[in-house]
Structures are given as structure tokens and as C-alpha cells.
């Protein structure tokens, strides 16, 4: 697969495709049968490959020959660089793992992927390409409906495993494209557009693209999977997305580890992956409607099941909806559009961890109320997004037009207000929860709501003022008000529902402040690379006239003449009638001024400082499993190397 003599029989130019195969001894085995059936066996072989690559780093110590820049795996031993050597190495691992000879080709790919793991995860943002297949459930639905080909991988809904990988990769600075564009992607690697490529695909699909690439010369890795041979395995009505992924041997947590989520290790993500999926699945149409029925809320999320429900489980706002149902349908539709669902995950994870720390038995009624409270937190978050999109003039959200673009500003404002009221309504009626706890939960949400509005109000006041000067300290305080309260509310509600006062669990407020602030500064850095999902331009905050710490740093560090130039640039590029040439020139000049002032480097330092402060606050938590959750969230929201990867 990786070189002409290594894994895949290479087709000569013009030769008709045939069943790709890997040769082990004298037998040619179809690649479709290469993936180990058992996840346990796959994990064993991967661990052995990782240990092997780590040993190369030890052997390379003191070796001064060759280039100075060597992947984290070290220098490849000369006897393994050859096709025969790599195969012999993989055969040895397969034998030690008591695996079958037909797994040698898969193991060869895994060794090479482990070699490039750190190099891929640490490449600059925007210079790493991830090739993803369609979710088999979504592909089947598309085939049934004769949908046209898409420029992005198809996913089946918010809890889809492919969607989980896609969102995590995008947030970590990867460019994500369908695996069908593998040939063009590898070509872009060779021309210098990308610094690394990771492909999740059938070996046959990647054959032509990867065939002539020497395994240890270019940073190209892969996670092979086998196609589902039958319709029932490919995501029929009886088999869901998770089952289809398992049948295909796609281990989501392994891919996330190669992508670099949670510090690059797969184990922490693997531990929390079921909870991440549970959090996302709460926002399918069916589960939202079931929640409203369980709490006796009526049709607060829109119509009853079976009426005006979209093909992917999303609640739709059909033209036939009456005026009394329109707002509920609009709100329900927006809740099912997607997102990372970090806040409900945090609430669930904090509760479950603290309950286990205290040795409490699991009570299903309380657990269902925790899930409902987690939904309420996301409802509040979604309400803030509806209003923020109006105030910021954003046109896209979750890859679709924003609510105000779809339905107009007055209707969108009303939908946001509706969501806020709905969030309070859900929390106030949680079954099986004591009245004092309900009172505390409402207070936690109300406090977060007030602080969020204060932060947004400060931003709007600044944007409407004549003086655009802002100190870095003021910008960070705005961040603390706008971003941190939602994190704090999610953690605090999970803790309170486990029977503990948040103040008794550790420095939760300080932790949330620094996680939220670091998260926002990191987003500022990412803004200069563009946000493909929401269709924002490079440096969108500058054009939108939003106050950022990077803007404040530039004004603080530039001399008077350059500072005035920056102010003029923002005014000219932000005009409604500004043409593309004016905008492009303004962004280029602003980037030059930011670089001159060392803004990108200082912003990355601030992210690191906020991360360190958050880690120190998490360490104060006296509950071990809850502390693990806080540390995992920190890795998820503010990855250790993410800021350094956001190159201007």
C-alpha cells in the first residue's frame, strides 16, 4: 500500500483494476479480509506496533547522521526500511500476537501509521489532510434517495462515528475531505500543500494514491477498514451506525488518537467515547420528543413523531406547519442540526464520575434527570448561538444557513427566547430531584445566563463605540464572561446532581474561567485560518468588528502610526460595500502588522498560560474520577499543541 513492493500489487499504467492483494509467502490474500475481526486483537497489534516504533527512538539516540528533523518514532532501522524487512517485522508481530497470517498487511500499515503519528498530530493547522469515508448508514440512505455526490463525507446524524471524527479533526486544524479524493490529496502532499495525510478507507480505495509512496519517506498514514458485505451490516433499519462501524473494523477512538485529540492518545477518548455518543444521541428528533413526553412538556420541540421529521432524524420546519407550532418546530430543528455537544457531555461525565467516586449506586430515575439537565444546558447554548449569529451577522452555522437567514431576524430572536424559556422549564421539572437541588440548578443556570449577557453586552458596547481601543486584560475579561459560564454551569450541575456542592469539589469556577478563556483565545488564532464549517473568512473577527485579545495585543504593541493603520484597515474592510480586493488587501496588511507586533506568538503563549492555570485548578479537585474528567475536558477544549499549530 505504501510502496510499490510493500503491501499492494501495483497496477501498471492502463491495466484494468483487479482485486488488490497482499502476498504472504506464496499466497495472495484479498485485502478485503485483511482487518482483524476482533477489536481486542486490533488493539493488541496496535500496542505492539507502538512499542516497536518507540524502540526505534531509543536506538536512534546518539546517531548524528541524516537529517536533523526525525519523527517521534526515531530513525527507522535499516533492516526494516526495505519491503522485505517491513513485512518480516509485521509477520513477527502477528506471530507474537497469535494472529492470523492474513493480518500481516494490516499490521504493516499500522506500523507505518504509528511511525508518523506524532508528526501528523503536530503539523500546522490547515496543512493536514484527513480522508474520511461516508458513514455506511448515510451512504445507504443516499443511495435509496438517489442523492447527488457531496464534497464532504456523508454522516447519519449528530451521534454518527464519522461525524465525531470529522468534528474533532476539524477543530484540531485538519482539512477533511471524502476518501474518494485520495489521489488528489496525495498529489497535494507531493506538491507541498499538505504536510501529512491520514486516510480512513478500504485498502483498495487507497491503492492508486498510496502505491508509489515509500512508507517511511513521506508522512502518509492510514486506518484500513473492510466494506460491509451485506445490507444488514451496512446500516439497515436493524443495524445502527455504531454496529456498522464495528462490522467494518473502524475503531473511532483509534482514529481520534491519530488525529491528535486528547494529547494524541487513544485511551482517554476510548474511555469517554460512549458518553460522548450518548450526549450527541440525546439530540436526535426521537429522543427529544421522548424527553418532552417523559417530562410532560407537550410538543415543545415540534410535531409528534412521524410528522414533519426529516430523513436524517432532524425535525423540519415544513411549510404546512401552523403558526402556533412554528416556533417550536424552528427551535427543535436547530437543536438537531449538530455540534460537538461538549456541555451535555461535561454534565453527564461530572455526575457519573462523582457518583462513582462516592461509591453511590446508579439510580436510573436520577440518571434520566441528569440527562434532561444536560439537554437543558445545550438548549441554553443553542439559544445563545441563535442570538450571537444575529448580532455578529454570521450567515452559516453547522454547515447550514443560520436561523435568521432562514426565517428572518424577528422570528430568530423569538426562537432564541423560546429556547431560553424551554431550558428553564426542563430544569424546573426534573423528576426524582429534591427541591433544594432544583433551586440550586436554576440558580446555576441563571447566574451563567446573566454573566453571558454581561459579556456579550460588553462586546456590543465596544463594537458600537467610536474608540476601538481595548486592553488585553479587558478582552480576556470579556472572554471570561462570554465563554466560561457555560463550561462552569455544565460542570457545576453535574456535581450538584451527584449530591455535592460545587464549591466543595474544588476550584471549579477558576478551572472553568481558564478553560473558557483558553478556548476562546485558541478560536481567535483559528480565525486567521478560517472556519470552513461556518463559512467565515480568514480573520473574520477583524472584519466583523469583534473585540479580540489579538486586536488588543496589536494596538498595545504597535507604534502609533501602525496602530492607526490597523484601525483604518478594520474600518475599510468591515464596510458593507467593501469589495473582495479591498478585503483581501486589508487582511494581508493586518496579518503583517500582527506578525510585526508578535501577536500570534503572544496569543499562543496566553493559550498555554490559561491551560496551565486550568490544569492547576483541576488538580485541586479531591475526587479522582472527577479530576480525570476535568483533565480530559481540558485536553478536548484546549489541546496542548493546538495553539502552536495555528500558524498565521
- Residue 366 maps to which CATH number? 1.10.600.10
pLDDT in tens, 308-322: 434 344 455 555 677
251 and 158 co-located in one domain? yes
Is 133 inside any structural domain? yes
Is 4 inside any structural domain? no
498 and 636 co-located in one domain? yes
578 and 463 co-located in one domain? yes
Is 299 inside any structural domain? no
Whole-number Å distance between alpha carbons of 575 and 169: 33
Is 329 inside any structural domain? no
- Number of residues assigned to the chain: 648
pLDDT in tens, 575-592: 666 677 777 787 888 889
Is 256 inside any structural domain? yes
Is 419 inside any structural domain? yes
482 and 610 co-located in one domain? yes
368 and 491 co-located in one domain? yes
28 and 141 co-located in one domain? yes
- Looking at 221, 249, 266, which one is the last position of a domain? 266
* CB 46 within 8 Å of CB 94: no
* CB 409 within 8 Å of CB 561: no
Inter-axis angle of helices 484-497 and 342-357, nearest 10: 30
Computed over every residue of the chain, the mean pLDDT equals 78
Whole-number Å distance between alpha carbons of 373 and 362: 17
Beta strands in 386-451 (DSSP E): 396-397, 400-401
The set of residues, in sequence order, having a beta carbon less than 8 Å from that of 217 and lying 6+ positions away, is none
pTM of the prediction? 0.63
- 34-43, 134-143, 291-300: the lowest-pLDDT one: 134-143
221 and 344 co-located in one domain? no
Is 3 inside any structural domain? no
Q: Which of 346, 372, 342, 344 is nearest to 438 (CA)?
A: 372
Q: Provide the residue range defining the domain that includes 204.
A: 21-266
259 and 342 co-located in one domain? no
CA dihedral for 39, 44, 47, 48, sign (positive or negative): negative
450 and 542 co-located in one domain? yes
- 29-38, 89-98, 103-112: the lowest-pLDDT one: 29-38
506 and 631 co-located in one domain? yes
* CB 102 within 8 Å of CB 237: no
Q: How many CA atoms lie within 13 A of 326 on its CB side?
A: 12
Is 282 inside any structural domain? no
Task: With cut-offs at 50, 70 and 90, classify the pLDDT of residue 177.
Answer: confident
Chain position carrying cell 469539589: 505
357 and 262 co-located in one domain? no
Domain count, the chain: 2
- Looking at 266, 294, 323, which one is the last position of a domain? 266
Whole-number Å distance between alpha carbons of 610 and 512: 10
442 and 584 co-located in one domain? yes
- Looking at 249, 266, 283, which one is the last position of a domain? 266
Whole-number Å distance between alpha carbons of 409 and 418: 14
pLDDT in tens, 282-336: 998 889 999 999 999 998 998 753 344 343 444 555 556 778 888 999 999 999 8
First-to-final CA distance of the chain: 34
Question: Does residue 13 have a pLDDT over 80?
Answer: no
Give phi and psi for 511, each to the nearest 5: -55, -50
Amino acid at each position: 500500500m505504501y510502496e510499490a513492493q510493500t503491501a499492494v500489487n501495483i497496477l501498471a499504467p492502463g491495466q484494468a483494476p483487479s482485486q488488490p492483494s497482499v502476498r504472504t509467502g506464496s499466497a495472495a490474500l484479498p485485502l478485503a479480509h485483511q482487518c482483524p475481526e476482533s477489536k481486542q486483537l486490533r488493539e493488541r497489534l496496535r500496542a505492539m506496533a507502538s512499542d516497536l516504533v518507540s524502540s526505534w527512538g531509543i536506538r536512534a539516540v546518539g546517531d548524528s547522521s541524516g537529517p536533523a528533523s526525525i519523527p517521534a518514532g526515531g530513525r527507522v532501522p535499516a533492516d526494516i526500511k526495505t519491503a522485505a524487512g517491513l513485512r518480516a517485522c509485521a509477520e513477527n508481530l502477528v506471530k507474537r500476537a497469535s494472529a492470523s497470517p492474513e493480518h500481516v498487511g494490516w499490521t504493516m500499515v499500522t506500523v507505518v501509521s504509528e511511525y508518523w503519528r506524532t508528526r501528523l498530530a503536530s503539523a500546522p493547522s490547515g496543512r493536514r489532510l484527513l480522508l474520511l469515508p461516508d458513514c455506511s448508514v448515510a451512504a445507504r440512505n443516499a443511495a435509496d434517495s438517489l442523492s447527488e455526490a457531496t464534497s464532504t463525507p456523508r454522516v447519519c446524524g449528530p451521534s454518527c462515528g464519522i461525524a465525531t471524527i470529522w468534528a474533532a479533526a476539524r477543530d484540531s486544524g485538519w482539512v477533511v475531505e471524502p476518501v474518494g479524493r485520495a489521489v488528489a490529496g496525495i498529489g497535494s502532499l507531493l506538491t507541498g500543500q499538505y504536510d501529512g495525510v491520514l486516510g480512513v478507507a478500504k485498502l483498495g480505495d487507497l491503492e492508486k494514491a498510496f502505491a508509489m509512496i515509500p512508507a517511511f519517506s513521506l508522512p502518509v498514514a492510514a486506518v484500513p477498514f473492510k466494506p460491509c458485505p451485506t445490507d444488514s451490516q451496512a446500516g439497515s433499519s436493524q443495524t445502527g451506525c455504531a454496529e456498522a462501524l464495528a462490522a467494518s473494523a473502524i475503531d473511532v477512538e483509534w482514529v481520534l488518537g491519530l488525529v491528535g485529540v486528547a494529547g494524541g492518545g487513544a485511551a482517554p477518548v476510548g474511555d469517554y467515547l460512549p458518553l460522548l455518543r450518548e450526549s450527541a444521541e440525546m439530540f436526535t428528533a426521537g429522543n427529544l420528543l421522548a424527553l418532552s413526553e417523559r417530562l410532560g412538556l407537550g410538543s415543545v420541540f415540534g410535531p409528534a413523531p412521524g410528522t414533519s421529521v426529516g430523513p436524517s432524524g432532524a425535525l423540519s420546519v415544513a411549510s404546512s406547519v401552523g403558526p402556533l407550532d412554528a416556533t417550536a418546530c424552528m427551535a427543535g430543528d436547530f437543536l438537531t442540526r449538530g455540534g460537538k455537544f461538549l456541555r451535555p457531555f461535561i454534565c453527564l461525565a461530572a455526575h457519573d464520575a462523582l457518583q462513582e467516586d462516592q461509591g453511590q449506586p446508579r439510580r436510573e430515575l436520577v440518571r434520566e434527570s441528569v440527562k434532561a439537565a444536560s439537554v437543558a444546558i445545550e438548549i441554553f447554548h443553542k439559544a445563545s448561538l441563535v442570538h450571537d449569529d444575529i448580532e455578529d451577522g454570521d450567515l452559516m452555522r453547522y454547515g447550514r444557513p443560520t436561523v435568521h437567514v432562514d426565517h428572518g431576524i424577528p422570528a430568530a430572536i423569538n426562537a432564541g427566547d423560546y429556547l431560553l424559556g424551554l431550558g428553564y422549564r426542563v430544569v424546573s421539572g426534573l423528576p426524582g430531584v429534591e427541591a433544594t437541588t432544583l433551586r440550586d440548578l436554576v440558580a446555576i443556570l441563571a447566574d451563567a445566563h446573566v454573566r453571558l449577557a454581561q459579556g456579550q453586552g460588553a462586546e456590543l458596547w465596544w463594537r458600537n463605540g467610536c474608540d476601538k481601543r481595548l486592553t488585553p486584560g479587558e478582552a480576556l475579561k470579556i472572554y471570561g464572561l462570554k465563554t466560561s459560564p457555560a463550561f462552569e454551569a455544565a460542570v457545576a450541575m453535574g456535581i450538584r446532581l451527584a449530591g455535592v456542592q460545587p464549591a466543595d469539589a474544588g476550584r471549579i469556577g477558576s478551572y472553568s474561567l481558564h478553560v473558557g478563556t483558553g478556548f476562546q483565545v485558541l478560536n481567535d488564532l483559528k480565525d486567521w485560518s478560517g472556519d470552513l464549517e461556518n463559512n467565515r473568512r480568514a480573520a473574520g473577527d477583524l472584519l466583523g468588528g469583534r473585540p479580540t485579545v489579538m486586536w488588543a495585543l496589536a494596538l498595545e504593541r504597535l507604534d502609533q502610526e501602525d496602530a492607526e493603520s490597523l484601525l483604518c484597515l478594520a474600518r475599510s474592510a468591515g464596510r458593507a460595500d467593501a469589495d473582495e480586493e479591498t478585503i483581501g488587501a486589508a487582511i494581508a496588511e493586518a496579518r503583517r502588522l500582527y506578525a510585526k507586533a508578535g501577536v500570534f506568538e503572544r496569543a499562543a503563549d496566553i493559550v498555554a498560560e490559561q491551560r496551565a492555570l486550568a490544569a492547576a485548578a483541576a488538580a485541586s479537585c479531591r475526587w479522582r474520577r472527577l479530576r480525570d474528567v476535568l483533565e480530559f475536558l481540558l485536553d478536548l477544549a484546549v489541546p496542548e499543541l493546538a495553539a502552536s499549530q495555528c500558524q498565521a
